[in-house]
Amino acid sequence: MSASKDKLNRKQQIEAGTDKRSIAQAKEKAQRRKSAITYSLVAVILVIFFAFVLIYNSSWPSRHTTAVEINGQKYSVAQLDYYYAASYMTFYNNYSQYISYGMFFDPDTSLAKQEYGEGTTWRQYFLDSAVQDMAQIQMLNEQAEADGFTLSEEDQAAYDEEIASLESAWQDLGYSSLQQYLNMNYGKGVDLDLVKQELHRTHVASAYSRSIYDGYDYTTAELDDWYAENADDLDVIDYAYYTVTKPAETETDSGDDTEAEDAAETEDTEATEPEAETLDCQAAAEALDGTDEGAFAAYLAENVGEGTEPTSTSLPGASLSADYSQWLLDEARQIGDATAIDTDSASYVVMFLGRNDNSYPMANFRHILIQAEDADADGSFSDEEVQAAADEAQSIYEEWQAGDATEDSFAALANERSDDGGSNTTGGLYEDVYQGAMVEPINDWLFEDGRKAGDTTVVSYAGSYTGTHVLYYTGESDLTYAQYQADTSLRNDAYSAWQEEQMASYEPVTSHLGMAGKLH
């Protein structure tokens, strides 16, 4: 009995030990399974994290995140970046000289940190401009498609040339690839396909808007009537004037200063304030009325000082000083009329010298520009460099004379030899040129009495485009300058009204703008 009991006890102990080991093993197995799950979760989190970092630093978000929606069409951040960069570069190129002088903004500092005005940053300004450009381009493309409008061969060639230039530009600019060039200048989501697409849409928009603008037609009577209604703003007034500035009013003495301070202030005032001029403008006007500019100068020399002369100028009516514009624009005004005008800050003697109603015909001409090379640090050129340009221009002129000496052959030489980037792809042609639009030697030759189609000459000019011009006069324009101004204004008004009507349904809806415009 005792042996049987002992045997049972050992069995129970063995079973109990087995249970303990089984429980321990189960716990250990559960712990291993828990650890395995934890490691798996960590691994998954790390994979997701690194995937997010890779995606964030890639172009994927820019290409797949909607930044703007216009009339049902969605645009990605990358597309907005493209238009943002285009808006920025257009502004910078147009005003680079002013920007270099510290105006507008600092290109080396984030635009998001520079105020444009009324709490708006320059970055926001260019974002807003980009969005508006996108809306207009979409409207014009949709209207063009509805009208069956396509690019002409010339416009298509211009687009193809721009793309070809883009595809090779990165090499000359020191980039390692075209993609790097696009990323650095437009944004990391912009690639060549996007540029081709948006640039093509821009060319279509430009060509279609031009077709709308050019499609308006006005009769001569309509142009003349419009100008007559606006003559006071557009007619050019020739006049001479002399200004007598009144001394600035000084603040009344409060009486609190010491005697020494009063003496010091008096001495300082006497040292810095010039004596007021004593010309009696009313007496001068009465003496000069009905005379001429020469008499005006003689009167000033006698009554103000030797060498004193009136200021002579020509301005459209809209640009005249408000102090005397009403007097100058009076229909009763006659050449030689003089008057005195008195204001709070100054008195004037003003003489009317004439009124030009812009009824002269405009000029059309071709030219070949040979610029002087190798400017000095201050932008000037040596006599030798100026002469070299003149000699080359003269040689081209003689080459043309020795050949067919036709307008077509002149145009061919202009495309081949001219340094004027604005006309050396159009045969050097400039049309509808009004007086004062060109530099003085060209202007004087174009509008010289007796000028006729086929006339040629060579003139030199020293200035922003120092060099020599070979000129070919092709004839007068069909419109007078007055009619041209009327035609331009009427077209602008008509096109603006059409565009405003079309844009009514193109109100952009923006989101994720914070992702765009990070390059500047």
Cα dihedral across residues 430, 433, 437, 441: positive or negative: positive
> According to the model, what pLDDT value does residue 20 have?
56
**φ, ψ dihedrals at 157, nearest 5°:** -65, -40
**φ, ψ dihedrals at 86, nearest 5°:** -65, -40
Q: Tell me how far apart the alpha carbons of residues 189 and 76 are, in angstroms, rounded to a whole number.
A: 9
The backbone region for 58, taken as left when phi is positive above 0, alpha when psi lies in -120 to 50, beta otherwise, is beta
Cα R_g (the chain), whole angstroms = 39
The backbone region for 26, taken as left when phi is positive above 0, alpha when psi lies in -120 to 50, beta otherwise, is alpha
The backbone region for 347, taken as left when phi is positive above 0, alpha when psi lies in -120 to 50, beta otherwise, is beta
Neighbours of 215 (CB within 10 A): 10
Give per-residue pLDDT as tens, 248-305: 765 555 555 555 555 544 444 443 333 445 799 999 999 999 999 999 999 999 999 9
Cβ atoms 186, 195 nearer than 8 A: yes
Tally DSSP H helices, then E strands, for the chain: 17, 13
At residue 31, the 3 state secondary structure works out as: helix
- Whose CA is closest to 58, among 179, 188, 193? 188
**φ, ψ dihedrals at 304, nearest 5°:** -115, -50
Long-range pairs for 328-333 at CB < 8 Å and ≥24 separation? Answer: 328/237, 328/239, 328/352, 329/232, 329/237
First to last CA, the chain: 100
Q: At what angle do helices 192-214 and 153-172 cross, to 10 degrees?
A: 140
Which residues, at least 6 apart from 475, have a Cβ–Cβ distance to it below 8 Å?
363, 364, 452, 453
Q: What is the pTM of this model?
A: 0.76
> According to the model, what pLDDT value does residue 156 have?
97
The answer to whether 66-215 and 361-479 have equal CATH topology is no
DSSP 345-407: SEEEEEEEEEEE---SEEEEEEEEEEE--S--TTS---HHHHHHHHHHHHHHHHHHHHTT-SH
Question: Which CATH class for the 236-356 domain?
Answer: alpha beta
> According to the model, what pLDDT value does residue 29 have?
63
**CATH 3.40.50.720 is right for the domain spanning 361-479:** no
Cα dihedral across residues 255, 261, 263, 265: positive or negative: negative
Q: Tell me how far apart the alpha carbons of residues 220 and 211 are, in angstroms, rounded to a whole number.
A: 21
Cβ atoms 247, 345 nearer than 8 A: no
Q: Tell me how far apart the alpha carbons of residues 226 and 101 are, in angstroms, rounded to a whole number.
A: 41
pLDDT < 50 stretches in the chain:
2, 8, 42-57, 264-276
Which residues, at least 6 apart from 363, have a Cβ–Cβ distance to it below 8 Å?
433, 446, 447, 451, 473, 475, 476, 477
Cβ atoms 373, 389 nearer than 8 A: yes
> According to the model, what pLDDT value does residue 270 have?
41
Domain 66-215, CATH among 3.30.420, 1.10.3470, 2.60.120, 1.10.4030: 1.10.4030
Tokens representing residue 474 in the block: 């092709």
Question: Hey, where are the domains in the chain?
Answer: 66-215, 236-356, 361-479
Q: Tell me how far apart the alpha carbons of residues 447 and 481 are, in angstroms, rounded to a whole number.
A: 13
